[in-house]
Amino acid sequence: GAASSGGLVAYADSKSDDVLDKPQGPPKKKVVVLGTGWGGTTFLRNLDSKLYDVQVISPRNYFAFTPLLPSVTCGTVEPRSVVEPIRRILEKKGGDIKFWEAECFKIDSANKKIHCRSNIGTNLDGNGEFLVDYDYLVIAVGARSNTFNTPGVEENCHFLKEVEDAQKIRRSVMDCFERASLPYLNEEERKKNLHFVVVGGGPTGVEFAAELHDFVTEDLSKLYPSIQHLVKISLIEAADHILTMFDKRITEFAEDKFGRDGIDVKTGYKVVKVAKDAITMQNPATGDIAVPYGMAVWSTGIGTRPFISEFMKQIGQGNRRVLATDEWLRVLECDSVYAVGDCATINQRRVMDDIAEIFRVTDKDNSGTLTVKEIQDVLDDIYVRYPQVELYLKSRQMNGIADLVRTAKGDAEKESVELNIEEFKKALSLVDSQVKHLPATAQVASQQGQYLARCFNKMKDAEENPEGPIRIRGEGRHRFRPFRYRHLGQFAPLGGEQTAAQLPGDWISIGHSTQWLWYSVYATKQISWRTRALVISDWSRRFIFGRDSSC
């Protein structure tokens, strides 16, 4: 009747409005983002979503604040305080970004399609699979835990990667205490159940060991007074020291503190097998030793996801370990595909590979030699394109390029020096030693996500006004400056309200005040006011009432 025809009119009206409002032009390009972790979420938050037709695909419909996962393992922070629903993040942006809760299992870059599978529902074929087209693909799927094919790890160890992992660990710690309290166990069996083993002395393993130690001494010792003296925490590391990515002073402090706390730090031991009730480790001096344990957490590094390895083979990167991009985060040898975060690595171009080209571009007057002035003229471009040059000069305390030129020529000639190609090569022969791989951190992933969003936002502009350095190979300019990582420092929480921090410029700070810095940095970095409020209230609750041991 009247109601339905009214609806029809309204529909037709809105449709014609739509047509009138629409700017005449080609349809928006389709951007597909894989992953809702640090890289993907930061990209989405910074993307001008009006410019594109955006679709997000991830098996996880939330973002997880991973730096607080170790705190979730012992109930210092609740699981829901470290996650933010992706739909809430997308809704805040206002645009109509689509989200599909599914996993990508194949990238078909030849046809610009990705194959996805939902594991919460099936389609008419009964398999939950679907195809998505893209114009641009942003891969931000992170990495998987790496067992290095050590037997028994998959079956018997916990990982600490996802929120579910942290919850399982929490449950398992409590189970060990309850099991060790049962009336029919002998002392030996109680000890075994209360032996907690952490494999991997990196930041995550160390933080978990510290967190567990605090949980045991501050909270569980009161609830399990008769067995608390049987608890043992071991931290196993194959290298000679723990926290090797940090300054020596932090490593030493951490090893000393763990020693005083009674955490058994076993450096130089490699775990070779994990059975149901014993972990076998190896050391050249002692040979194999098998140690009974109650619970083990495996935290020794990351590897490439199988579907990414498949994709790498498909595009001719099969001989690499990690998906490689150029400095603009474009996947090498693959059109319109970008990758950020833990799933990828930047293949920084070497100066020595391009040295003849660099020489040619620099030698403006084609004299066959370079003056200091000629080099100076293109130096900014060289610094942007090859950041290792600037790092090298800094590391040698050289005062700009003139110093380098003089060093290459020897001290005799001080005035108006010119370099030929051989001398230029010699002068720059060591700069590539400063090329470093970026660490697999949230800091890197989020800076990359932000950078890439900025490029996408300016894609049109930059075609007319390129901002990048002169192209060394071929003519013209790059449209964008390459990605440049800014290291803001790194924390290592060590338990007992003490944290170590290594800030830029080798500024080291360790202790209780650094723990407060840690609290304030991580409160600030929260993705929303909601999670910020939850995290701060979790911390306060813990200070007043201790950690919750029921779960």
Binding site for ligand FAD (CB under 6 A): 34-40, 57-60, 66-67, 69-70, 103-104, 140-142, 160-161, 204, 305, 307, 341-343, 440-443, 445
Please choose which of ligand FAD, Mg ion, none residue 227 contacts, taking the beta carbon within 5 to 8 angstroms, the exact cut-off set by kind.
none
Instruction: State which of residues 122, 286, 367, 513 lies at the interface with Mg ion (CB under 5 A).
Output: 367
| Between 107 and 419, CB nearer to ligand FAD | 107
Contact partner, 363, from ligand FAD, Mg ion, none, Cβ < 5-8 Å per class? Mg ion
70 binds, among Mg ion, ligand FAD, none (CB under 5 to 8 A by kind): ligand FAD
Matching residue, tokens 């991580």: 522
Cα–Cα dist 205/73, whole Å: 12
Q: What, of Mg ion, ligand FAD, none, does residue 204 touch, CB below 5 to 8 Å by kind?
A: ligand FAD
387-395 and 400-409 helices, crossing angle to 10°? 70
Nearer to ligand FAD, 63 or 359 (CB): 63
In angstroms, what is the minimal distance from the CB of 438 to Mg ion? 6
Side chain identity, residue 358: I
Q: How many CA atoms lie within 13 A of 78 on its CB side?
A: 18
**Identity of the residue, 69 or 279, whose beta carbon is nearer to ligand FAD in the bound complex:** 69
Residue with smaller CB distance to ligand FAD, 212 or 427: 212
- 3-class DSSP assignment, residue 178: helix
| Binder among 31, 32, 33, 38 for Mg ion (CB under 5 A) | 38
Q: How many residues does the chain have?
A: 551
538 binds, among ligand FAD, Mg ion, none (CB under 5 to 8 A by kind): none
- How far apart are the two ends of the chain, measured CA to CA in Å? 57
* Residue whose CB is less far from ligand FAD, 41 or 234: 41
* 69 touches, from Mg ion, ligand FAD, none (C-beta below 5 to 8 Å by class): ligand FAD
- Judged by beta carbon, residue 59 or residue 268, the one nearer ligand FAD is 59
With CB under 5 to 8 Å by kind, the binding choice for 67 among ligand FAD, Mg ion, none is: ligand FAD
Contact region with Mg ion (CB under 5 A), list: 56-64, 144-152, 160-168, 350-358 = 56-64
Q: Closer to Mg ion at the Cβ: 231 or 378?
A: 378
Which residue, 160 or 370, is less far from ligand FAD as judged by CB? 160
Residue 149 CA to residue 158 CA, distance in Å, equals 15
**Which CB atom, from 185 or from 324, has the smaller least distance to ligand FAD?**
324
From residue 62, alpha-carbon distances to 41, 49, 77, 191 in Å are: 9, 19, 17, 39
104 binds, among Mg ion, ligand FAD, none (CB under 5 to 8 A by kind): ligand FAD
Q: How far is the CB of 68 from ligand FAD (least distance, A)?
A: 8
Place of tokens 């990582």: 485
Q: How far apart are CA 65 and CA 81, in angstroms?
A: 9
**Comparison of 214 and 342: residue with beta carbon closer to ligand FAD:** 342
Q: How near is the Cβ of 180 to ligand FAD at its closest, in Å?
A: 26
Comparing every residue's Cβ against ligand FAD, the nearest one is: 37
Q: Percentage helix, strand, coil, to 5, in the chain? A: 40, 20, 35
- Name the burial class of residue 320, with classes exposed (0-12), middle (13-18) and buried (19+) by CB atoms within 10 angstroms of its CB: middle
Helix orientation angle between 86-93 and 38-46, rounded to the nearest 10 degrees: 20
How distant, in Å, are the alpha carbons of 73, 152, 203, 222 from that of 158?
Answer: 11, 11, 16, 26
Q: Is 165 in a helix, a strand, or coil? A: helix
By CB under 5 A, tell whether 415 contacts Mg ion.
no
User: What is the closest distance, in whole angstroms, from the C-beta atom of residue 338 to ligand FAD in the complex?
Assistant: 12
Helices 372-385 and 355-362, interaxial angle, to 10°?
Answer: 130
CA angle, 482 as apex, 478 and 485 as ends, to 5°? 170
Cβ within 8 Å of residue 464, ≥6 positions away: none
- Using CB distances below 5 to 8 A depending on partner kind, what does residue 365 bind out of ligand FAD, Mg ion, none? Mg ion
CB-based contacts of 277: which residues, under 8 Å, 6+ apart? 192, 292, 293
Residues 135-154 vs Mg ion: string with x where CB under 5 A? -----x--------------
CB burial of 328-343 (b: ≥16 within 10 Å; e: otherwise) equals bbbbbebeebbbbbbb
Using the minimum distance from each CB to Mg ion, give the nearer residue, 155 or 365.
365
Per the CB < 8 A criterion, the answer to whether 441 and 67 are in contact is: no
Least distance to ligand FAD, CB of residue 72, Å: 9
Our finding on whether 70 is near Mg ion (CB under 5 A) is no
The listed partner (Mg ion, ligand FAD, none) that binds 367, CB under 5 to 8 Å by sort, is Mg ion
Residue 332 Cβ vs ligand FAD, minimum distance, rounded to whole Å: 18
325 touches, from ligand FAD, Mg ion, none (C-beta below 5 to 8 Å by class): none
Q: Helix, strand or coil for residue 438?
A: coil
Angle of the 372-385 helix axis to the 400-409 helix axis, nearest 10: 120
Distance CA 536, CA 71 (A): 13
**Is-contact 31 52, C-beta < 8 A?**
yes
Residue 255 interacting entry, from ligand FAD, Mg ion, none, C-beta within 5 to 8 Å by type: none
| Residue 495 near Mg ion by CB under 5 A | no
Tokens of 109: 């870059």
Residue nearest to Mg ion as judged by C-beta position: 37
Q: Site residues (CB under 5 A) for Mg ion? A: 35, 37-40, 64, 66, 140, 363, 365, 367
